[in-house]
A and B are shown apart, each in its own frame.
Chain A
């Protein structure tokens, strides 16, 4: 998909496992082996207790919409064809918030508090984005 023009993530040494899991259509976040905190985005130390004892954890991908906006104008020129689209913050069942898009329903059907589940979008052969759809 050489024609995919939208911004793509550039995985770092800290985040490769997250993006590799997404390619397998799995949602993985980190958990601190010292204090138990669930962590997103991926880090090199726990942001709560600063422990380096972090483990990867496969999670269910279930969550709720914490907030959302419907982009009626593109938030970047490369999103022009997607208008209107939903940019959302989803609160995972485990607690962390992540930025995403809500797919699988009309933009105006999205509600704060709506249950959602991860929906993986293989946007290029190399990159899978973690989007969400109504549960």
Chain B
């Protein structure tokens, strides 16, 4: 028994990322995208009987799912917080399908929204894990930048991966962003030299290889395959899912260069009964360029260590032979908290519904999405498709 094909995403909403704190609280943003997604899915508010949400750093507290349910006056029969960092949205997709298949509920609202800071609420941001604070922070290993730089450096040392190869990912994704009117950085294409000449932040990662946190929100609705048939949008079926974890701080990862994407993607492809070569596009979480490179290797799009050459030899734009992060990726779209991770799920759905506009991937019927949290510490891979 699996959840393959048992549920579908029938609607989505996505706020255009904004720099700075913005004028709304995270709950306000969550409310806006909820209104829009219910309309997009052709449902009424009372049809929503499942709720999955994730932290908003701008106003996080215990009992968060109930806070969201109360604010929206929802009465879920299934509700929870998915705490997988950037992999939360992908993690919501399969959990929603599983809950529906288990008969717990019919229509699950998956929603996230966040502000760049806590100005709108005056709350304190949540604490980092105690052990990271004790054994990493005193040496300056704080937040994500240096962690991913450690991965990139080790990848370069083990496999000869070159800075210009990593840069190519940012360049191709920017081309995609230039066809996405909501992208935060979509007004001008960049070159490999632009990336390599941008300010070095944590050697070997340059400024243009690093996401820019911002304000935003997103939502999608999952329903049963049966009910999806009467939805106004083309239903996008969840064909496969896989998840993996095992460390929090990157120093404690079993390997810096072979990530938990490997078991997560293997599970997702196995459930779907397909392989990477069948994918019409990929939407891999891209907090940094190296994240995409390692994900493509570990998901099986190329052999371990060959990611650098692979991204050089393939056109990752929406018109290319392996369209990758067709919304621009978070590198160009922006990283609105957990909605950054949701942007990959939504872009996969958008493409499969045929709503990609100028960046539509021609004849796309199946694609790979990956969510990544923390420092490669939470991985959730999805295979999405249309009939």
Among A9, A85, A113, chain B packs the most CB atoms within 10 A around the CB of: A9
Q: Which residues of B contact A68 (CB under 8 A)?
A: 150, 153
Give the size range of B's interface with the partner: 20 to 34
Q: Indicate if B226 sits at the interface (CB-CB under 8 A).
A: no
Q: Give the CA-CA distance A83 to B73 in the complex, in Å.
A: 50
Q: Which residue of A has the minimal Cβ distance to B154?
A: A67
Q: Indicate if B202 sits at the interface (CB-CB under 8 A).
A: yes
Give the size range of A's interface with the partner: 35 or more
> Which of B74-82, B116-124, B132-140, B228-236 lies on the face that meets chain A?
B132-140
Q: Which residues of A contact B145 (CB under 8 A)?
A: 75
Q: Give the CA-CA distance A112 to B257 in the complex, in Å.
A: 13
With contacts A73-B199, A75-B202 taken as known, whether A101 is within 8 angstroms of B153 at the C-beta atoms is no
- Contact bitstring A122-133, B, C-beta under 8 A = 1, else 0: 010001010100
A71 touches B202 (CB 8 A): yes
B200 touches A72 (CB 8 A): yes
B contacts with A: majority SS: helix
B283 CB to nearest A CB, Å = 27
Q: Which residues of B contact A127 (CB under 8 A)?
A: 138
Q: Which residues of B contact A6 (CB under 8 A)?
A: 138, 140
Q: Which residues of A contact B201 (CB under 8 A)?
A: 71-73
Q: Which of A75, A82, A111, A113 contacts B142 (CB 8 A)?
A: A75
> Which of B11-19, B94-102, B248-256, B309-317 lies on the face that meets chain A?
B248-256
A101 CB to nearest B CB, Å = 5
- Contact bitstring A98-135, B, C-beta under 8 A = 1, else 0: 11110000000001110000000001000101010000
Q: Indicate if B193 sits at the interface (CB-CB under 8 A).
A: no
B154 touches A66 (CB 8 A): yes
Q: Indicate if A50 sits at the interface (CB-CB under 8 A).
A: no
A-B CB proximity, top 9 nearest: A69-B149, A112-B157, A70-B203, A67-B154, A7-B137, A72-B200, A67-B150, A9-B134, A99-B136
- Interface on A for B, CB 8 Å cutoff? 6-12, 15, 41, 66-76, 79, 82, 84-85, 87-89, 97-101, 111-113, 123, 127, 129, 131
